[in-house]
Structures are given as structure tokens and as C-alpha cells.
Chains A and B, each alone.
Chain A
């Protein structure tokens, strides 16, 4: 074997394990091999750490520094694939206990242990740091600390709930653990999660300095004491009970009630300051075991992988990085997209015929920025830079240096076509992306209008674009892979999840939503009250019931979408008579003077509903919850599978992610196809077939095939 081969082999053996080296009277423990860019706690790594700690105990140095394999990485937590694999409670409990006990042995070392943190220090990684005596974090932008476990439906299991609560006090610990909050070094320092923030280039020096200080003082750890209100709210029983009651209440309201992990974490944090340490640790391990096998955890983990998968779309071949963009149309969508881009450092020019519209766009952005400055999320000069990034004008100017041209004007095909032609005339380079934020028009028809139609791609943001996390990237018949990849890359940069969909009416989200909303209208016409309907779907886990959703979308928009879909799929998509009647009565929804609701109470649309019910005659009976789900959600499942069948999307994963991010399908289900499986595909097929006799179109082949399989 040559030397380099030996080196390589040694290096590959070193991968995935922790290492220890001595430097004078100090020991430096690195959590991974030098060339590892990602550290997660696999079984092997934990055991290697255990061996190292054993050796250190046997032959103790004066001090220990624990750090990542190199710059930009500490430890990102447990391996999420392993979380998915745990199938029984005892298995989960044991894994938690094992990890915690390995970390805990650091405490039995007679010398100070200092964590030197740069890069992700999350979940198990942060729990390891919590067992150290001092935490020093680097100010590098890659540094993030926190316990995000609840976002995956579990709780911190390696002592995190107990140690963090004792370190920073109950209110702060609850704020971080229950929300799964992660933050950069400075914010963590302000709340006491780390003891010192050091410049990136001096991180190790700072850690050594901290160790020396303790060594010189002949101490293992600094003495700590909670201060101010934090102290009283943590240690005074009545105040603590008050905090607990308030938090419990918020965890029982809204969508929070579907998630067990934060509730469990709350009880564990309370235990941290009320019961002996061992009892707290035991309870934590037990809770982790219970959470890790729950369907909610498996669903959320599934969803996590889907988001990772969506982010990878940004790395497709030919993905162009957008540095300059022109957005045409300064309405809610255009202004929102422009503001998003400006916020992420894209030099954006927002154009509209009306200066007043443009002034409103700048005004809205400023309002949002002011809020962020007040909440200390941004500094004044950062807000100013974002505002500077967004130029507004009635003039497009010369487009020769632009990477992206995007239109968000009214849904008028010939207008969009002429604007695209104008963009080409204004010098837009042949390789720049031409994007349309259409929600209902075919991308192909627009591509005809321009030379190099392969650069035309649909980028469908949802309203309001600042908040909605999904972007449908529409691949027309001629759209190039590079254009799709560029659109995905932009979406990811803007903090959105892209899902690539085919150029068919309604694309994915609106198409799946249509039968659901249509049936909702139908049920209401049959006599079902909007409040009841909304409550059933809220209990199902939707963020908003269908009646309120229709109000929010606006009945005029809903009518338009229905028409487009009816045109596309005349045999199964219908426009409800309620739509037309609501538009006619000008009960357009929350953007106008109310629809079915007005400020949470019955709105002007109720009269319309009453009239139509009377015209139909015979009030139906209130449907059961099961009936409502069968009539609303089952057809949505069917339509989702039809999208798969028609090639609008290529995988079930797209359906899962698209509907969770696009319409808020309950995340804890892991997505619509996973929910459908838990409900039973055959049950769904049977119900749809039953309905087919009355009104529905019957289940599609893709769904039936999967049911019989």
C-alpha cells in the first residue's frame, strides 16, 4: 500500500467517530474526523465518545475542550433516519438513556469541560454541550443553537429538558424547547444558553482561556444563579404554577392541541425544578420512547425528509442564481414577491403602471420592516438595505443584466404574452428566466409568445406570498430543466418549498382544493351550517375550515378557479351555484364586506345561503363528522391521485408536501397519502364508489390500484 492509500484508509476509518488528542495538560475531543462536514449522533459515534470519556476518566487531564470536527460544524443532533427506525417504546427509552448516560459521564470528570461551538449545535449536539461545564460559541454565521426536537414530534431525550431548565430557568427553557427554537450565538448568549461568544478565528483560544480560568481557580464549573424574574418564576411554586397553567392553555388551543410533544416537554421542564435529577432524567427517557413511536412523530419526520427533498431541487443542473429581477405588477402578489426577493438580497425592480400601487408596495414592506426592527429581528441599516433592494418605477429600463423577469399581473393571457414580448425587446438576455405567477393560465400558451420558450416557467406563489410556504413550479411542455431548477432555486432562497408540477388546469393545489371546497358548498346548501362544517375540519387538523377559507380566498376568485377547472375537467369539476350567488350578492369575503362570515360572526352571505336552501326545498339533516370527512377529504385524496395519474406530479411525496404546505393539510399526518393509508385506501375507494352512484365521479385508477395492492 502506498502512503496516500494508507492515509485514505485511515481517514475513512476515522469517519463517523469522535477523536481525542492531548495538547499539554489539556485534552481536545473532536466529535468527528477532520474532513467530516456533518456530525450526527450515530450509535458508533456515541460509543466512540463513551470510550474517549472512559479514557479521560482513567487518566484525567487538567481540562477538556469538546469541539466539532472543524470549522462550521459542531453536532446537528441525532441521526433522523434512526428516529424513523425506532419501532417500540423500550427501544426508544433505551436509546435515550444510553446517550444521556454517555454525556453525563462528563460530569464525573474531575476537571472542567468546555464546549467550543461553531456551526449547528442542535438537538443532541446541544444536549451534549449542556452537560459541559462552560459553553463558548463562535460568532460565525453558521452557528445555530437550540433544541428543535418538538418539530419532529419528539422531545429532547439526552437530558436537554432537565439541564436547560436548570441552566436558564423555566420561562426561557419553555420558550426554546416548546417552540423548538434555534438561534445564532448572540441570541443564545443573551438568554444564557452559552457563556461566551468568541470571534470565529479565536474560538479555541477562548475555550482554552475559559478552561484555564477554572483550572487556576481550582474549580470544575462556574457557580451559576438565576436572576430577576426568571428566578422567581422558576423557583417559587405559585408563580411556577401560574406559568404552567398559562402555557398549558395555549397548548390546548388552535392547532397546537394536535401536538403531544410540547405538552410532554412542558411537564418535563416542570419536573426539572421539582423532582430529584434522576427522576427527571427517567421521565424524560420514558417520554421520548412514547413520543418516538407516535404516528405524529413518524408523520413529521416523513415531512422533514420531504422538505429536504424539496430543497435539493434547487441544486438541479443549470440552476441560475438570481441576483437581479424585474417584477411586473405591483398588486398583492407582485409586491409580496418583490419584497421577499428584496429581503433575500436580490436587486429587484418592481414595475406597475400606477405609482400609487408602487408606493403602497413600498409602504407595506416598510411596515413589515419596522415591525422586525421593533422586535430586534433586524437592525435599522439592514431594513434600509432591503428597502434599497426594491426599486419601484413605472419604467422597466434596460433589462440586459437581469437574471429573472417575473409577471404577476391580472390573469389575462394576451396581456401576459405581450408583456413577455416586451421584456425580450427591452434586452432581457436569452438565458434569463421568464416566470409567470399565473394560477390558472397555461404556461405553454405564454411560452409561444417569446423566442427561446424553454426559459418560460410558472412560479405560482400563494396568497399572501410572505407567509405561504409553498411555490408551485410549473413545467410547461417546452420548459427546460435549467429553467425549472432556477425557479426552484429562487423559491428555496426565498424560504419556500418548491414542488414541480405539470402545466394542467389548477396545477396541483387548486385542483385538489376544488372538489373539497365544492363539496363544502354543496353540504352548506343541503343545510349544514358553516360553523359546524368549519369546526369538523378544524378538529380534523386543518388550519381553517372550508367556509372561512372560501371567504379568505374570496368568492370571486373561487368562482374563477372553478370555471377554469370545469373547463379542464368538465365531467367531474363543477362550479357551485353558491359561488355565483355570492358574487352576485357582492358577498365576496373578508377582502370586501364579508362573505359567510364578517369579523367572525355571521356575514351577509348567510342570506344568500338561506335563499338557495329554500329554493331547493327540504332541509337536509346535519351530516356526521365521518360523513363530512368522507365527502370533503376523500374526493381530495382522489383528486390528488388523479394528479399523479395525469403526471401533474411524479411522486406521492409531491402530493404530501404540496398539500401540507399549500393548504395546510395537517402536518402531523405526514401528508395526504400517508393519511389516506392510515384511513385505509380501500375504505376511501369504497366510499367514493358509493358516492359515485349519487354525485361523485368514482375513484381514479391510481387510487384503486393502490387500494388493491
Chain B
């Protein structure tokens, strides 16, 4: 471990967590905006633990695409959840890892002596990613607003061209890397080619994800994480994830057409993560404070790391982050009981596995003399992942961390690593310990 001695005052503990059901964009949660989702999980985690909201030191929420009227959505959600006005709140954004970043942020603040209790999490309403009107139309309206005389107004209005109405689609632009011009799917195609991952390997991985998530659903495992929600417009309750297909088959997956590279590609909607709405709320505090409050820590955050890498191969983020966090803590791959690696794309998770198992790659990119090791599939994403549950961008980092913690608790304790690849070429990993 990096910290030689264990100091409960300086160790962040996750005490409780809930999430909304994860619902495919445009389905049951479409009426809820980011703040609706986040305030729901914040209130539920507080109500369920009975923790006094006034005792929270800072609220940190990951959100990658809050709407324009809730830019600091953490603050909006906290107030709406009943957190008093004198508790500050900040929104963090590191694309796909924003939810995990909220936990890292809380840990950093604890270590810096800036508070003991944190309400953290992530929320994303991908249904509400807007269509944005282009700069040209905005410019015309600005000219219209400035125009004083009738002539100026007419001139401004006459500058209109039908092409001004072509919207920019936020979700497409958000998932395109602006420095390389590649869509996220294209970066996954890159990995499939470099690591020789076949279409059927990818489809098999996707099917496994659905099967595992489906089994977890049947066993009632997700129900322990989920706080059912009655979202706006308040026409019905939403209690279950709706992306899981327990009956997914290779045949059905095989029929799907590639989306990104339509001629030669492998990445389909079936072996990529789903576009989803959802939020996760966690109550985190120093281990010592949890004991003082009479609350049982579920998991302790031992360490977290962020790394940067080639944006065109952003999917390898975990292959960079996991070795780094292991090394910092004098651990090797086998020491870790289970892993959660976000399933942005099947090809990308398989790529990470292959990279870490390759001595060549490890030598070239990590400067190691040997491979990191074989990350066995039985230890990886044991309850499925984003291919089945969906990937509400900023929520996922918090979701896999909490799922990992719950899983380790059920197994009677152990060490776990949660990691994500991040659009723009980053990786993040978090080392978690559940004490027996």
C-alpha cells in the first residue's frame, strides 16, 4: 500500500449508495432531466441512511452533459434533495469517468483536510442531450436583437438561409473526439484491428455481459442498488433496468450491421454500450467519521489514479491505469479479487485484456520488462456491464464502483479495482478494499 500506515481519519469510506434504474434513452426515464435523476438518488441515499443532510461537507456530482439551465447541476440536485443551502456543491466532468471522479474528488478533499463527509455520484440524462442550433442562426438572432431601425431588422431577417436550421446533435458531437475527428466507435475499431479481436469474440463478450446482468437481475441483486423512481411527468413508476437481454444470442448479435465503419467494421449496437439515462448517489466519509456516526463502511477507497494516452486509442485507458494503480500500491494482478472495467465497447475491454497480457505492448507503452498479466474473464465484470445495463456517461463510474463494493461485500471482503476508459484519451482506476 502506498500509505504505509492505515489512518482511518484519512481513508475515504463508501457508506451507502443507491441508483436509479438504468433506462434506455428515450424510454421510461426520458422525462427526467439530470437534476431530477441526481436529486432523487441524493435524497434516497440520505433518507435511507438517516444521515443528516446538514452534516454533509461538500456535494460532488459527475455530469457530462447537464442542460444549459442547470450548468452546476450538483448544486441544483443537492438543494432539491433537501441538502441545506450552506453546504457547497460542485459538478465534476471527466467524460465517462465523471462519476468516479466525484469519488476521487471527495478523497482528495478529505486528504487535503477540506471536509469529512461527501455526497457524491454521477448522473446523466442522455434522452435530454439537446439538438443545438448552429452559430449562424444564433448570429442572426443576435443581429436581430441589436437592430434598431426597421431597415436593419429587415436586413438581419433577410440574412436567413434554410441551412441555418440544420441542428448540431449534441450527443454525436459529444462522442466525437475533437482532436482526432474520430467517433468513439472508431477508436474501438482501431483496437479490434491492432489486437486482432474478431467480431465473434466481441459478440461473445457482449452476450456474456447480458447473461451475467440478467442473472444478477433475476437474483434480485440490482434491486438492492436501485431506488425506484416516479420520474416527471409522473405517469408511472420505474423500478427496473430495461436494457438487459437475458436471452441474447450469438445469432441475433451476428445479424447486426456495423455502425461506425459500415463496410469493414465489427462494432455494432449489440457489442457496444447502450445510450442510457441514470444516476448514482453515494454517501462517502472518512472511515473514522463513519464509525463515529455509527455507520458501517461498506468499502474503503485505497487509491485512485488517472492517466493520459493517445486519444485514438482511448479505449486502452484501463490498460494504462490498472498497472499504474497496482504498482503504486505494491500489488500484482492476482492480488485483486475482482475487476470492473467499463464496457464502452466489447472490443475495447478485450483490447485492454490483450494489452495487459502482452509483454510487447507492456514493454513499449508501460516501460515494463514483462506483461502485467492475464486478467481472467471470471474475475471481470462478474455482473455484466454497460453493454447490458447501459452507460449513462457520468453515472457509470460511480455505478461500477458501488457494484464492485457490493459484490466484494457479498463475497465476504477483498480487494477490487474499478476502471474506465475516457473519451479524449484518458484512463482512471480506483482501488477498493472491503474488509471481511
Contacts and interface: CB of A to CB of B under 8 A. Distances in A.
Nearest to B47: A397
Nearest to B50: A398
A394 B48 CA distance: 11
A398 B49 CA distance: 6
A347 B236 CA distance: 21
B91 to A, nearest CB: 19
Interface string A372-409: 00000000000011011001111101111100000000
A482 B227 CA distance: 36
A392 B50 contact: no
Contacts, number: 58
Given A362-B234, A401-B52, A349 B47 contact: yes
B47 A363 contact: no
A359 B236 contact: yes
A401 B237 CA distance: 26
Given A347-B82, A401-B50, A427-B50, A356 B237 contact: yes
A474 interface: no
A619 interface: no
B380 interface: no
A398 B47 contact: yes
A537 interface: no
A363 B233 CA distance: 8
A363 B227 contact: no
B183 interface: no
B230 interface: yes
Given A398-B48, A401-B50, A393 B227 contact: yes
A394 B228 contact: yes
Given A391-B47, A395-B48, A397-B50, A359 B230 contact: yes
Contacts of B93: none
Interface in B37-71: 39, 43-44, 47-50, 52
Given A356-B236, A359-B234, A388-B80, A393 B50 contact: no
A571 to B, nearest CB: 50
B232 to A, nearest CB: 8
B378 to A, nearest CB: 33
A349 B49 CA distance: 14
Interface in B205-243: 227-228, 230, 232-237, 239
A242 interface: no
A182 to B, nearest CB: 31
Given A388-B39, A388-B80, A400 B50 contact: yes
A274 B237 CA distance: 60
A143 B30 CA distance: 42
Nearest to B39: A388
Contacts of A388: 39, 43, 80-82
Nearest to B235: A363
Most chain A C-beta atoms within 10 Å of own C-beta, residue among B43, B47, B82, B236: B47
Given A388-B81, A400-B50, 16 more contacts: A355-B237, A356-B236, A358-B230, A359-B230, A359-B237, A366-B234, A387-B232, A388-B39, A388-B80, A393-B228, A395-B48, A397-B44, A397-B50, A401-B50, A401-B52, A427-B50
Interface of B: 39, 43-44, 47-50, 52, 80-82, 227-228, 230, 232-237, 239
The list of the 5 closest CB pairs from A to B, nearest first, reads A398-B50, A355-B237, A397-B47, A359-B237, A397-B48
30 contacts: A347-B82, A349-B47, A355-B228, A355-B239, A359-B230, A359-B234, A359-B237, A362-B230, A362-B234, A363-B230, A363-B235, A384-B80, A385-B80, A387-B232, A388-B81, A391-B43, A391-B44, A392-B230, A393-B44, A393-B47, A395-B48, A397-B47, A397-B48, A397-B49, A398-B48, A398-B49, A400-B50, A401-B50, A401-B52, A427-B50
Interface of A: 347, 349, 355-356, 358-359, 362-363, 365-366, 384-385, 387-388, 391-395, 397-401, 427
